Amino acid sequence: MLLTPALAISAVLFTLGVAGVLFRRNAIVIFMCVELMLNAVNLTFVALAQQLGVGGQVFVFFVMAVAAAEAAVGLAIILAVYRHKQSVSLQNMNLLKDG
């Protein structure tokens, strides 16, 4: 009975996350938006687990574990970039461009 609102909130959160990733320039904000998308998905899993069994809830733990690891690695990268460039803006990270 709470399924539809839960999925709707999840969709809104996910869209916010995507929009953040697309339109923000600050690497840390983008990083937080990625977390937002992950948690939006988690919400979907939990909501659907009520009807489709416990598997969804189990999967949420996996996502949390992976998100924690990802947060550690991602923050380390951002720190390294900041030391190198004195900036966390994505606009300055274009070394892959040719020329």
Interface residues toward other proteins, by CB under 8 A: 18, 21-22, 25, 90-91, 93-98
State whether the Cα torsion 7-26-92-83 is positive or negative: negative
Q: Residue 91 corresponds to which tokens in the numbers above?
A: 């606009």
Please state the closest distance from residue 20 (CB atom) to other proteins, in A: 11
Please state the closest distance from residue 97 (CB atom) to other proteins, in A: 3
Which residue is it, tokens 């949390």? 64
Q: Which of 72, 61, 8 is nearest to 38 (CA)?
A: 61
Please state the closest distance from residue 33 (CB atom) to other proteins, in A: 10
